[in-house]
Amino acid sequence: MGAGVSSLFGLGGGEVPVAEPAAAGLGDLPELCAALVLLRLDAPEICRLARLNRAFFGAAGTDFVWEAKLPENYRYLMSFVECGDDGRGVRRRRAGKKEIYARLARPVRFDGGLKEFWLEKSKGRVCMALSAKALVITGIDDRRYWQHMPTAESRFHSVAYLQQIWWFEMVGEIDFCFPVGTYSLYFRVHLGKFYKRFGRQVCSSEHIHGWDKKPVRFQLSTSDGQHSLSQSYLYEPGSWILYHAGDFVASKPGQSMKLKFSMAQIDCTHTKGGLCIDSVLIYPKGFQQEKVVSPSQLTQAGGRLIWWAGLSCEAAPCLSSSPVRGLHPTTPPPRRHCRQPPRLLPRSAPRARLRPLAARVRASNSDQQQLGAGAARKDSLAGRVVPSSVDRRRLRGPCPAQPPPLPVAHPRAAGRTPISEALGLCLAAFSAALPYLGRFLENCRVLVLLTVCPRSR
């Protein structure tokens, strides 16, 4: 019995087994070291790594990790959250930096719900959207030209649809304190009227016209002297496209910047219509979520505007100072029915070399006109007239009738009736009033005779 007790307490000569230490893992990592690792990751990666173990879960909730992901003016941004949509102050409890980041990552509306901003979740950069109702649009109150359509494809659940107008112009402005960085401004537009049919989205191209005749001009200017000017044709009906209006740089932290931007096509020689306007978007440069079209940048050089197709504003001055001279400015992008883009001819080319080319062009045009006239005469026998630019093999029925032209929307386009037509209308009105005028004069003569020479009883 004594030997058993001695062996139990280790008093005997036998060796006692020693437990081996457990292997170290990520769970033994200090929370400060885990936080230093999270500082080098983006916000979605931090949230995924927080589910790994307790060390990373505790480090993912520290304030200094999320404060590094927030923009430097997050207190200014939180003031819009505290004010709310109606501008009234709302008392909230003090939130941590992680909760602030999560709140700013969701859309924050201001200015009556017509504008909103949010943080891009991966990098924490500021994005902004302005509704079409926040813009000044020519003729927007006239239902003959514009109408607001409710839709789920807009973040504001409403878009402005243009049926037909002469003077198209949209102007907007925003005064906001942007974090330091470079930003791009886009117009989100859609060619054609879309609606749902049997649960599927259908695009109607009934009113689409006028956008391939003259380009639309985009302008952007800031309060610190930055300017951008570009223009582009509108194309690809049936899809939402972001048209790039220009870039601007916010270089002063904590200082408010005022932006003015516009989208216009004010050539009153033709009407245009069939366009949906959703919003104006301001993204950090390089951040894209939809298809983006970069219009040609315009630069003033030598008293004329030069197209810089596909180049940024920074590359244009470098090309303008190039020693190569004597070239015409590049032409706007060709239309869809053009098979080949126009050739660039130097100004110094002799006229003798250009004459054969001009003669061939005139000959081809005359041949096409003759063929088109013959085809139109042949189709007129069947009760329809088809222009020469239409592919007759794909034609299955008569051409749809164009909608009747609407009244002129702009005062400058009004009152342009020819003098001969006005004189004809005056003569027609005078001739229509002659019978009534004769009867009136006859009645007046009879009345005078009865008054002056009464009958004797």
Domains along the sequence of the chain with CATH: 111-317 (2.60.120.260)
- Please give the pLDDT value at position 360: 55
The DSSP result for 149-207, as a single string, is EE-SSSTTSEEEEE--BS-EEEEEEEEE-PPSEEEEEEEEEEESEEEEETTEEEEE-SS
Give the CA distances from residue 114 to residues 1, 105, 244, 291, 388, in Å, rounded to whole numbers and listed in that order.
91, 18, 21, 24, 47
Q: What is the mean pLDDT of residues 56-77?
A: 90
Please answer whether residues 159 and 132 qualify as being in contact, where contact means their C-beta atoms are separated by less than 8 angstroms.
Answer: yes
Please answer whether residues 121 and 44 qualify as being in contact, where contact means their C-beta atoms are separated by less than 8 angstroms.
Answer: yes
CA–CA distance, 195 with 207 (Å, rounded to integer): 14
Please answer whether residues 163 and 205 qualify as being in contact, where contact means their C-beta atoms are separated by less than 8 angstroms.
Answer: no
pTM score: 0.61
Q: What is the mean pLDDT of residues 32-58?
A: 88
Tell me which residue of 50, 302, 87, 278 sits closest to 186, measured CA to CA. 278
Which tokens in the block code for residue 176?
């906001």
- Please give the pLDDT value at position 1: 45
Query: 127-130: long-range contacts (C-beta < 8 A, 24 or more apart)?
Result: 127/281, 127/282, 127/283, 127/284, 127/287, 128/174, 128/176, 128/281, 128/282, 129/155, 129/156, 129/279, 129/280, 129/281, 129/282, 130/172, 130/174, 130/279, 130/280, 130/281, 130/282
The DSSP result for 106-144, as a single string, is S-EEETTTTEEEEE-TTT--EEEEEEGGGSEETTTT-TT
Which positions ≥6 away from 3 have C-beta within 8 Å? 12
CA–CA distance, 220 with 231 (Å, rounded to integer): 12
> Is the model's pLDDT at 235 over the cut of 70?
yes
pLDDT tens track for 140-187? 999 899 999 998 889 999 999 999 999 999 999 999 999 999 999 999
> Is the model's pLDDT at 219 over the cut of 90?
yes
Burial of 450 (0-12, 13-18, 19+ CB in 10 A): exposed
- Please give the pLDDT value at position 321: 35
pLDDT tens track for 422-438? 777 777 777 777 777 87
